[in-house]
Structures are given as structure tokens and as C-alpha cells.
Amino acid sequence: MSMSLPSGRTVIVRGGGDLATGVVQKFFRAGFNVLILETEAPTAIRRSVALCEAVYNGTSKVEDIKCRKINKLEETKSCWSEGIVPLIIDPDGKSINEIKPSAVIDAILAKRNLGTIKSMADITIALGPGFIAGKEVNAVIETKRGHDLGRLILKGTATPNTGVPGEIGGEDTRRVVHATASGMVQHKKQIGNIVKQGEVLFTVNEAEAVAPMNGLLRGLIREGITVNKGMKVADIDPRTDADYRTISDKARCLGGAALEAYFYLDRNREKQL
């Protein structure tokens, strides 16, 4: 049975990373009840702007959005009444059938579909490659930086993953730092530090990972997380004056695109009823 929810439309966002947080903010500000579904151990890099940090800390806050980890779906009501976004550990999406939301938005950014299907809600939206719009979900949003960033795709797929990060401040591949070994991460620098090329950012089982360029360390995976060799662990912004504590331009763009997709699909669905 579905839950008796407060008035207003409800949206479930799968994922609570930095880009998903941009989506959550747009829907929250537009008056929706938003619920985040996360895994037991999120591996967000840009932790200062990722609501999924509530998994570890119990609560999180990004700009004007407060988030609280809950253990039971019944707790969503009190969160929403307080103006707080609830987050529950539910990687398989079991909560979706019970909540029966107006929309499900897959913002996991796994580059593949981890189980989101059209039957989950009247409106289903997915960010990035790995989904077929019109078949698996109602709409896909382009996540590749460039002219088409944020474009709504109603049939077909987003640009395939190239493995090359989008360019920021003239840098692309150099701004992303990967684990040099498999094991547990230990920090040598912290998010927000200005780093110089060659400085040690973190170690994995004592294997050092150094900064490939000068810049602002805007992303660094949580200390103590176990990673695999080659996994993305840190992110450097060549723009040293960038604000690592606020939602990025890309996240805002994708959030706005998801909100646009919702209203576009909802309007056309009503015409067909």
C-alpha cells in the first residue's frame, strides 16, 4: 500500500552526489517533497556539495538545502513538514513502490542503468549515458559538458561515456586524480586546500597520489573508504578562486533540466489523459 503523504507532489531522486544535489535543490525550491535514495557507502568526491554525506553524519547541508538520514519511510513526513530533505539507504529502490512518487529521477551517474524503469512512476528521468529515452525512461538528460549540456532527450541516448572529464579552466584529464593502488584512502590534503603540482594528496595502502597540476582541491573521497586501483578519488579545479562549497554550474544546469523535463512530460501526459 502507498503511504498517506502531505499535500504536494513527491519526487524520488536516486543518488545524492554533487550532481544529484543540484537536482534535489531545484525540485525542493519548486515546492516538491523530495526523497533521496542512497547506498550504504556513497563514494562522492565533491563531498562539500553532496547531500549523501548524511549517510555518514546523520545530517548534511548544501547551500539552503538540509538533509537528514532516516531509517523508516514514515519519517519522511516529519522531515518534509520541517523543510528537510529525507535520505534513506535503499540502493534497490524498494521505497518507490511504497511511496508511489510523481516522478523518479535517476541521478546515480553510474554510466549505466542500475534498475530504473518507466513503470516506477508516471514520469521517469535519467541523467547521462546508459539509458534509452522512450524505452527505459521517459527522458534522458545530456550530462556531457558543451553545447548540449542539459538537453532533454525524449528518444534515444545521451552521449556515450568518453572517459575524458569535461574541460574546466582549460584542463580536462589532468584535473581528475585516480587511485594508484587498491586499498584504504588516507588523506594528506583536505577539500578546499590550494595544492601545487607534485604535492601528495592522499595515499592508498601507502602508495602516494600526487597533484598533477596546481589548483584548488575541490573534491576528495572520504577518508577510510576502500577503493580499487584506477578509481576516481580526487578532483582539482585550476580556478583557485572557485567556491568549492556551492553547487557547480553543471549541477545547477542538470537540476534545471530535470525540472524542465518533469513539467514538460507532465503537461504532455495530461493532454493524453
Q: Which CATH number belongs to the domain containing residue 152 in this structure? A: 3.40.50
Q: Is residue 135 located within the same domain as residue 200?
A: no
Range of the domain at 226: 173-237
Does residue 47 sit within a domain?
A: yes
Model pTM score: 0.92
Query: Which residues does 143 contact at the CB level (< 8 Å), separation at least 6?
Result: 19, 109, 127, 128, 129, 149, 158, 250, 254
Q: Is residue 100 located within the same domain as residue 187?
A: no
pLDDT digits (tens, 9 = 90+) for 28-45: 999 999 999 999 999 999
Does residue 4 sit within a domain?
A: no
Q: Is residue 127 located within the same domain as residue 73?
A: yes
Distance from C-alpha of 218 to C-alpha of 112, rounded to nearest angstrom: 25
pLDDT digits (tens, 9 = 90+) for 161-203: 877 677 777 766 788 999 989 999 999 999 999 999 999 999 9
CA 13 to chain centre: 9
Does residue 262 sit within a domain?
A: yes
